Amino acid sequence: MKISAIRVYQVDLPLVEGRYSWSEGKYVEVFDSTVVELVTDAGMSGYGEVCPLGPFYLPAFGAGARAGIAELSATLIGEDPTAIGPINQLMDRALLGHPYVKSAIDMACWDLLGKVCGKPVCDLLGGRFGESVALYRAISQRPAGEMAENVAGHRADGYTKFQLKVGGDPADDIERIHAAADVLSAGEVLVADANTGWRVDDALRVANAVRDRDVYIEQPCRSYEHCLTVRRKTALPFILDENITDIEALMRGHNDGAMDVINLKISKVGGLTKARQIRDLCVTLNIPMTIEDSWGGDIITAAIAHLAHSTPESLRFSATDFNSYVTVRNATGAPQRVDGRMQASDEPGLGIEPDLDALGEPVAVFGGQ
């Protein structure tokens, strides 16, 4: 089997809530998603998706993903997409860095591998643990009272883990955390995610003010060193996200005792292949993980479900159902939230079929038509 063509689609994903807001006044109303179709000479296609959280969250943006895929296309045409190791090596040699560019291609390769083997990607990533995967809900940054109301509202959807978007004015963030903590029920989990938005002094001020609350502090500052300083001065459990970009960053954090939990984002590390490597190392090191991506629609949600469902339950801190946040369906067969949980498909590959009406015409085609 060889890649005969690469088709690239651009899909806008408007938000159900209208606007998603986080640290430092950043927000997105419509996400720019890129879907990749790898067409093979065997008459079979595989699909992947990458959807950065705007151009100001990580060093990634939608048009950049499409430009990077164009750069890689000549390297990939004629290669075997089921030879996932060599494909990743080729991409890394042809384009240094830019892991998010490679993520959708790698995802499409896993989709094809599953279809060829007649197995769901979950099985190929290690096998299914448990019946379903618990999800968290991100609570967009709003005034404290409104965020507390949103926690209570999403509880009705079955969520028991809530990620508050803070990283603004410390006094406002203290109020937000207290307001949300006041409405938590027994067994629910609260995470205060600053998304790199605080200075060290801001983070310490907030952590000290909420030290008697049952809350996790997530990625308070932009640099690893500043996060480590905060970590060493608070007893609250600690999550790193933006700083965990590869295996080296994970090992540095583990050796420094810099975190209790990590967020493992598929596109941030370069795709399912490298996410699986980090996931497996976390299992060895006994580090819990939230398994997710920067954002996305049905295809990314399916990939998250397969990686999360093949992760031991004891180390699965949470996962994300991004397709419930957006109004456009870009594929059928993707997991759907039921009582705050989702399941990976039992169908071969990712278990999805693209919605061709939603995808529209390709914005780029490389190789045979």
Residue 348 lies in a domain: no
- Domains: count for the chain: 2
Residue 183 lies in a domain: yes
pLDDT in tens, 289-343: 999 999 999 999 999 999 999 999 999 999 999 999 999 999 999 999 999 999 9
| Predicted confidence (pLDDT) at residue 87 exceeds the cutoff of 90 | yes
Counting residues of the chain whose pLDDT is more than 70, the rounded percentage is: 100
| Predicted confidence (pLDDT) at residue 369 exceeds the cutoff of 80 | no
Asked if 192 and 207 sit in the same domain, the reply is yes
Asked if 266 and 304 sit in the same domain, the reply is yes
Residue 350 CA from chain centroid, whole number = 16
Q: Which of 102, 115, 161, 165 is catalytic?
A: 165
Asked if 41 and 180 sit in the same domain, the reply is no
pLDDT in tens, 184-237: 999 999 999 999 999 999 999 999 999 999 999 999 999 999 999 999 999 999
Find out whether 46 and 100 touch, Cβ atoms under 8 Å. Answer: no
Asked if 358 and 281 sit in the same domain, the reply is no
Asked if 303 and 276 sit in the same domain, the reply is yes
Which residue bears the tokens 């480590």? 228
The strand pairing partners of 68, in sequence order, are none
pLDDT at 329: 96
Please indicate whether residue 165 is annotated as part of the active site. yes
Asked if 98 and 171 sit in the same domain, the reply is no
Q: Which of 102, 161, 265, 274 is catalytic?
A: 265
- The domain that holds 70 is classified in CATH as 3.30.390.10
To the question of pTM greater than 0.95 for the whole model, the response is: yes
Asked if 244 and 168 sit in the same domain, the reply is yes
Q: Which two tokens stand for residue 345?
A: 């498909």
The helix or strand, by DSSP H or E, that contains position 38, with its residue range, turns out to be strand 30-40
Residue 168 lies in a domain: yes
**Does residue 321 sit in helix, strand or coil?**
coil
| Closest CA relative to residue 238, chosen from 260, 254, 266 | 260
Domain that holds residue 328: 123-342
Q: Is 323 exposed, middle or buried (0-12, 13-18, 19+ CB in 10 A)?
A: buried
pLDDT band per the 50, 70, 90 thresholds, residue 284? very high
Please indicate whether residue 265 is annotated as part of the active site. yes
Q: What CA–CA distances, in Å, run from 22 to 143, 144, 198, 258?
A: 12, 13, 12, 23
Find out whether 15 and 326 touch, Cβ atoms under 8 Å. Answer: yes
pLDDT at 368: 79
Find out whether 367 and 77 touch, Cβ atoms under 8 Å. Answer: yes
Q: Tell me what the pLDDT averaged over the chain comes to.
A: 97
Asked if 105 and 157 sit in the same domain, the reply is no
Asked if 270 and 136 sit in the same domain, the reply is yes
